[in-house]
Amino acid sequence: MTEQIESIHYTADVVVTTTDGYVLLIARGWEPHKGAWALPGGYVDPGETSRAAAARELAEEAGVYAAPGELDQVGVFDAPDRDPRGRYVTAAYHLTVIPGTTVEAGDDAVRAEWWPLEVLPPLAFDHADIIRAATTSK
């Protein structure tokens, strides 16, 4: 029997909410889902923890700076079909900030905006599930 090896990509995503019920979303600048709304996040670099990657990606994509220790882990999302590029496993984190926190798109994001949690646009990947897990686990 031939064993098939699957490549798995390791990523981190961040759900940032305000104390008055908004969530930070970015518009993706690249495929897949170019132009779609998504959570800030990206690849975990070699030698980096997923928590450190989440804090770095948040700063790079949305201009929001947090120490890795400020991020609370939501869970691991690893459904085999969650990303059209192949197998992507993400460690998701949550951060709560005050209303009016300034955001600025950068890196892979073309826009960064606050959205009311009750009226979210269609989201890329399984990011709606990640937001739901982050906001209902309190």
Q: What is the mean pLDDT of the chain?
A: 95
Query: Residue ranges of the alpha helices (H) in the chain?
Result: 50-62, 127-136
pLDDT at 4: 86
User: Could you give the angle at the alpha carbon of 131 between the alpha carbons of 127 and 134, nearest 5°?
Assistant: 135
What would the pLDDT profile of 12-66 be if each residue is shown by its tens digit? Answer: 999 999 999 999 999 999 999 999 999 999 999 999 999 999 999 999 999 999 9
Higher pLDDT, 112 or 2: 112
Single out the residue of 45, 131, 41, 48 nearest to residue 90, CA to CA. Answer: 41
What would the pLDDT profile of 118-129 be if each residue is shown by its tens digit? Answer: 999 999 999 999
Percent of the chain with pLDDT over 70: 98
Pair 64, 103: CB distance under 8 Å: yes
* 1 confidence band (pLDDT: 50, 70, 90): low
pLDDT at 2: 73
Structural domains of the chain sorted by starting position, each given as residue range(s) with its CATH number in brackets = 8-136 (3.90.79.10)
**What is the pTM for the complete model shown?**
0.94
pLDDT at 117: 97
Percent of the chain with pLDDT over 90: 93
pLDDT at 137: 57
